[in-house]
Amino acid sequence: MDPTKRFSSRVDNYVKYRPGYPNEILDLLVDECGLTPTAVIADIGSGTGKLAELFLQNGNPVWGVEPNHEMRAAGERYLAGYEKFISVNGRAEAATLPRQHADFITAGQAFHWFSRSQTAPEFRRILKPDGWIVLVWNDRPANATPFMQGYERILDEHAIRYREVHHQRVSMEEIAAGLGLASWQTAVFSYRQQFDWDGLKGRLLSSSYAPEAGHPNHQPMLAALRQLFDQQQRDGQIQFDYTTRVYYGSF
């Protein structure tokens, strides 16, 4: 499937149940990269606006570049209250932004879908000479808790091509080499969501590899998820943990 279309049918669940990003990312970029509220952000693969919102709350102008019509429209609705958000119909390989436009290029939960050979020259074109590239992923620590272990087993048993598309198969060394970064660093933060049953189900169905209604794996996957929830819930809630990884570097 064309990666720009993978989430078209999952937009509602993505908006409601996907995590945001910890505020510590802003502190990191202020300290390490000189981020100020006037810095122009080009958020590539901006989707429904989860990462863009972090910078908009900091006062930054954010150009959200998103190729998927449904995701882009959802992001425009979600961020409608922010005057400094500009929605752009573009993609990582052809962002349509002016030359040397951005102080920061960011990508949240998206870079693994880009064509690195075509993205590198486009990033060089739109980034200012002293600009920064910031790539962020919310990873699930599979062994952090019994619930997270069980969740991973459900994906292994029922998800579609899960191991092939999971972003953790792409190393930062490969990314840095593909982009031609002169240097890069890593920071790690903890993040958590809390779900009731409907929220947990929506979180799973927001993933591109989760089989949708009509697929033979759909109902068995939800049955296994319900059983896991019933076993692990406390007061009708489950803790869903993340390790937020931030990779930042420059050309």
> Total structural domains in the chain?
1
What pLDDT is attached to residue 205? 93
Identify the DSSP state of 211.
P
Q: Stretch 101-113: mean pLDDT, rounded? A: 93
Please state the φ and ψ torsions of residue 161, each to the nearest 5 degrees: 55, 40
- The tens digit of pLDDT for each residue in 40-77 reads 999 999 999 999 999 999 999 999 999 999 999 999 99
Cβ–Cβ < 8 Å for 245, 137:
yes
Residue 173 pLDDT: 82
Q: For residue 64, what is the domain's CATH number?
A: 3.40.50.150
Domain that holds residue 62: 3-250
**127-155 pLDDT per residue, tens:** 999 999 999 999 988 888 999 999 999 99
What pLDDT band is residue 6 in, cutting at 50, 70 and 90? Answer: low
Given a cut of 80, whether residue 165 has pLDDT beyond it is no
Average pLDDT in the 17-35 region?
A: 96
How far apart CA 85 and CA 76 sit, in angstroms, is: 8
> If you ran DSSP here, which 8-state letter would residue 160 be given?
S
Averaged pLDDT of the chain: 91
The token duo for 77 is: 């609705």
β-sheet bridge partners, residue 207: none
SS3 content of the chain, % helix, strand, coil (to 5): 45, 25, 35
The residues facing 192 across adjacent strands are 241
Q: What mean pLDDT do residues 163-169 have?
A: 58
Q: What is the pLDDT of residue 221?
A: 95
**Is pTM beyond 0.85 here?**
yes
- By CB atoms closer than 10 A (0-12, 13-18, 19+), residue 83 is exposed
Task: State how far the alpha carbon of 109 is from the alpha carbons of 36, 237, 246, in Å.
Answer: 23, 25, 11
Q: How far is CA 200 from the centre of its chain?
A: 18
Which tokens hold the place of 166?
């999971």
Dihedral of the alpha carbons of 1, 122, 30, 192, in degrees to the nearest 10: 0
pLDDT of residue 2: 52
Q: What is the pLDDT of residue 62?
A: 98
Strand ranges inside 160-237, DSSP E: 183-195
What's the pLDDT tens digit per position in 198-225?
Answer: 999 999 998 888 888 899 999 999 999 9
Q: CB neighbours of 126 closer than 8 A, spacing ≥ 6?
A: 42, 95, 97, 98, 99, 100, 101, 102, 105
**Distance between CA atoms of 25 and 193, rounded to whole angstroms?**
17
Task: Give the tens place of pLDDT for each residue, 170-194.
Answer: 677 888 888 888 889 999 999 999 9
Q: Residue 228: pLDDT band by 50, 70, 90 thresholds?
A: very high
Q: What separation in angstroms does the CA of 53 have from each of 12, 61, 155, 159? A: 17, 10, 29, 30
The C-alpha R_g of the chain, in whole angstroms, comes to: 18
